[in-house]
Chain A
Amino acid sequence: MTDCPNAEMRDRLPDLLHERLDSATRAVVTAHVENCAECRAELTLIREAHVALVSGVRSVDVTVIARQVVERTRAPLTTATRQPEHRAARAALLDWRVAASIAVLVVGGGSVFLMRGNRGDRRPPAVSPVATLEAPRVGSSTAVAERPVHHESTTAAMPASAELSAGGEVGDLSETDLRALLRELNGMDAVPSTEPEPVAVRVSLPGSGGSE
């Protein structure tokens, strides 16, 4: 069995068998096959091969397959149809979560801000890290001791009333607190016997001739 030299026609033979040629091309190929022994032999061989390849295949029940395919794919299709609803519900839930988070942040932040504000009222006014304690004058000389003091350690070392007097505005004190403060101040020594504790209080010493 020899090959036809017209490769284009040989290429079309399976298409002729499967009727995949348009009418014009089919007419050309058919005319060629009628006049070409090699192509006729090859077309016969292709037919036999086709029969050999498909003969053992039993036909399938298309109706049953269609029904089962539809049943098996129905659930995903329904899911796909419902997908926009799911997406909308999920988006709404997400919106609520974002809104809740923002609300928590706002409320929490506001609370912290208010707490800080309240604490700030009780906190002493900004005090220079250098606390100045003016010692009583000796003659005309003025002894000024300056040493750096950490505010927190200072306040911690002080009694509560001193902390109160040093930390807050005098105007904020109630009548009772003021009286207690004055009593305490009156009980203090004019000149401390030891190295004075750093107290950021300006104390007026009676009889010294000036405010100190």
Chain B
Amino acid sequence: MTDASRGGDGQSDLDLIARWRRGDERAAAELVARHAQALARFAGSFGAADDVDDLVQDTFVRAFQSLDGFRGESSFRTWLFTIERRLLLDRRRAEKRRPIRVEVQEGDASTEYDALDRMVAGEAAGRVQQAMKQLSPTQREVFTLRVAQGLSYREIAELVGTTEGAARVHYHNAMRAVKEYIDD
């Protein structure tokens, strides 16, 4: 496996974190530059569309404010994913509690997103998306983390809060279900 936590300048995430702790703001900017797009993709793969910038920003702020909790047992990116996932779940819970007021108008961000999504993703990708809707929430999450983010089973297990073996089983079950849907 290659080390995704080392940038082109040869500095690891841990080096940058140490510099940030000493007050070097450029180190923070470098960490953001290194992981922001991955966090945006991660958020997007879980359905976040409108407020991805805010979500990514909040994730970094939360991470930098609680760096003492980062023990370095997983990669920094996996830790960021964990924080972002929690933020996403919190937001979804908050949205569920909020009174529903749906006033969809032409030109809404969500409408644009769907149209853009369909255009870019193509027919094959559209079929995969439909297939993924048949999956259980856990299967979908594990499949997304494995396919969209390329995380290892160990990282997925840490993120989702399960075992490595269970993550592997969820992934293969999800893959089988997607294949069956597409074959039908």
Contact = CB atoms under 8 A, between A and B. Distances in A.
Q: Would you call the interface of chain B mostly helix, strand, loop, or mixed?
A: helix
Contact of A1 (B125, B149, B152, B183): B183
B179 A52 contact: no
A138 interface: no
Most chain A CB within a 10 A radius of its CB, from B33, B36, B168: B36
Interface string B32-49: 110011001101110001
B45 A53 contact: yes
B57 interface: yes
Contact of A21 (B1, B36, B60, B64): B1
Interface of A: 1, 3, 10-11, 14-15, 17-22, 25, 42, 45-46, 48-70, 72-74, 76-77, 81
Contacts of A66: 28-29, 32-33, 36
Most chain A CB within a 10 A radius of its CB, from B49, B124, B168: B124
Contacts, number: 142
Contacts of A62: 32-33, 36-37
A65 B60 contact: yes
B65 interface: yes
B146 A70 contact: no
Given A22-B1, A73-B60, 17 more contacts: A3-B176, A17-B150, A20-B150, A20-B152, A48-B122, A48-B124, A53-B144, A56-B44, A56-B117, A60-B36, A60-B40, A60-B56, A63-B33, A66-B33, A70-B29, A77-B23, A77-B64
Given A20-B2, A42-B175, A52-B128, A65 B53 contact: yes
A20 B1 contact: yes
